[in-house]
Amino acid sequence: MPSSATQRSLLGPQQEAAAYHDAKDFGYFSLLVANPHNGRKEQSSYLLAKMPQVIEAVDPSRDTWISQAEFNCPNRRVVNLLRVSLLFVDLDTYKMTAGDDRSPDCLAASVRFFCAEEGIPMPSILVFSGRGIQAKWLLERAIPRDALIRWNACQSRLIERLAPLGADSGAKDASRVLRLIETVNSKSQHRCRVVHVEPGPDGHPLRYNFEHLALELLPVERQVLEQVRKERAARKQMRIMQPSKRFHLYGSSDRQLPWHRLEDLRRLAYRRRGVHEGLRMRHLFWSLNFLVLSGAVSSRTMYLEAAVIAREIDPRWGDHSSELSTLYNKAKAFEAGKSVSYNGREYPALYTPRNDTLINMFEITSDEQRGLQTIISKPLALERDRKRDEIRRRAAGAKERSAYLQNVDGKRVQARSFHQQGLSIRTIAERLNISKSAVGRYLINI
């Protein structure tokens, strides 16, 4: 049998990358290449349309990594995330007992056996990274940045369940790069290659519906689904479940709200065509606070994300790291699971301000709030609640009051016309499919 250094990959670098990057879409991907002389990693970002030419030009003798997600500008940071088309776990199988002695194909077989035994969805692709295994679950369609928090939850759950196989908990964020197929791993001198492809019904690599995958992986999602089913069975018709106490606006989880607030601050800056100097640090501080609170990034990459947000606020803004040290310490405490007690309640170590506080802090006008998703006043929140309730009622078959009144007026006219023709109240009621008392009300004051 050929060695893992020379054995051919089941998918080439172009095919494997195309499984989660569509060159026809707008967006950017990144390559990270190690300098063979000093080991320093150099990053470059390219339009997806140029991906075939870029991969073709890669030197396979150099350590090379490719971003798994796509970004809206040539910068591989979570705040710039555009979309992601897969879930992935980096398995450090070489750290396991007897891991170094097994062939890549044996390692892949052990991963598949473990998934089957534990009821974990089978990976679409298994990649030998030169030392370990990269498991990838391809999605039927790319999910947008708005779904990042649920995507993160699925990533964390997969890593938790695959921990016995050496799942790397530090390699789960959306800005992660993994080794490019057919490039060398200089630590082992083996080439990275696809060692297993799980076929789907069409013969291509298996793809998952993200909603179905999330329901399979996340216990809370399954509980919510079961609650919906029970409500439907009890009422014998479809009902839209009201958010529980564990959920915020739009049924978002505890980590979804800070992500939406980060997005609101960015929308506000865009609407105002920038952030004036007196609010720059405040804007950066709270954006980072919400970004870390959402779980989308860790304290390890906080300063890298801060640099991107700072350039977004003002490209000329200089160093600001010293002013973020307090937030960094709170981020570390938050990741360690520490909390803060206030008035007998426990709060996360990071800041969780009320909407009114943010509205006053950033002087957000009522007109500006209408363009935001969550940083809104109570009156506007009530107005949106009423509109959502109207949509629910329409979906359940309720009529608008204007339509109801129009229908009543029409039946009143018909009832009076039938009465003038000499029809009895009983006959009129049968023809209009209404009660006799309703006919009587229609005929009053003729």
CATH of the domain at 193: 3.30.70.1790
In a shared domain, residues 345 and 321: yes
Residue 243 has a pLDDT of: 33
Rounded CA gap, 110 and 103, in Å? 11
Asked if the structure places residue 53 within a domain, the reply is yes
Phi, psi values for residue 230, rounded to 5°: -65, -40
Query: Do 384 and 412 fall within a single domain?
Result: no
Same domain, yes or no, for 39 and 162? yes
- Check whether residue 85 and residue 199 sit in a common domain: yes
pTM (2 d.p.): 0.75
Provide the H-helix boundaries in 297-365: 302-313, 325-335, 355-361
**21-33: pLDDT as tens digits:** 999 999 999 999 9
Residue pointed to by tokens 């069409």:
202
Single-letter amino acid, residue 418 = F
User: Which tokens belong to 367?
Assistant: 């007109």
Query: Is the confidence at residue 37, as pLDDT, over 70?
Result: yes
pLDDT at 445 > cutoff 70? no
pLDDT at residue 322, rounded to an integer? 80
Looking at the structure, do residues 422 and 287 belong to the same domain, yes or no? no
Please work out, in degrees rounded to the nearest 5, the angle formed at the alpha carbon of residue 117 by the alpha carbons of 116 and 120: 55
Whether residue 396 lies inside any domain: the answer is no
Indicate whether 247 pLDDT > 50.
Answer: no
Half-sphere exposure of 42 (CA within 13 A, CB side): 8
The answer to whether position 76 is within a domain reads yes
Higher-scoring residue by pLDDT: 298, 228: 298
Q: Residue 419 corresponds to which tokens in the numbers above? A: 């009465």
In a domain, residue 372? The reply is yes
Report yes or no on 292 lying in a domain: yes
For 354, counting Cβ atoms within 10 Å of its Cβ (0-12 exposed, 13-18 middle, 19+ buried), the class is exposed
Residue 2: pLDDT band (50, 70, 90) is very low
One domain for residues 360 and 425:
no
How many CA atoms lie within 13 Å of 402's alpha carbon, on the beta-carbon side? 0
345 beta partners: 342
Sign of CA dihedral 67, 72, 75, 79: negative
pLDDT digits (tens, 9 = 90+) for 128-153: 999 999 999 999 999 999 999 999 99
What distances in angstroms separate CA 92 from CA 64, 95, 135, 308, one per listed residue?
A: 18, 6, 11, 30
- Residue tagged 């609170």 (tokens): 293
Picking from 388, 410, 431, the residue at the C-terminal end of a domain is: 388
Q: Are both 48 and 137 inside the same structural domain?
A: yes
165 inside domain = yes
Residues 192-220 pLDDT 10s: 999 999 999 999 999 999 999 998 998 76
**290 and 430: one domain?**
no
Instruction: Specify whether 282 is located in the same domain as 356.
Output: yes
* DSSP-assigned beta bridge partners for residue 348: 339
C-alpha to C-alpha distance for 329 and 97, rounded to whole angstroms:
36
Q: Are 338 and 296 in contact (CB under 8 A)?
A: no
Q: What is the mean pLDDT of the chain?
A: 85
3-class secondary-structure state, position 79 = helix
Same domain, 199 and 332: no
Collapsing DSSP to helix, strand or coil, 374 comes out as coil
169 and 125 belong to one structural domain: yes
Range from 8-12, 152-156, 313-317 that averages highest in pLDDT: 152-156
| 261 located within any domain | yes
Give the pLDDT confidence score for residue 3 in this predicted structure.
Answer: 42
> Which domain covers residue 317, as residue numbers?
249-388
168, 195, 215 - which closes a domain: 215
**Euclidean distance between CA atoms 33 and 180, whole angstroms:** 10
Considering its fold, how many domains does the chain have in total? 3
Shared domain check, 182 and 73:
yes
Q: Is residue 59 part of a domain?
A: yes
| 278 CB-near residues (< 8 Å, 6+ apart) | none
Residue 242 has pLDDT above 50, yes or no: no
End-to-end CA distance of the chain: 99
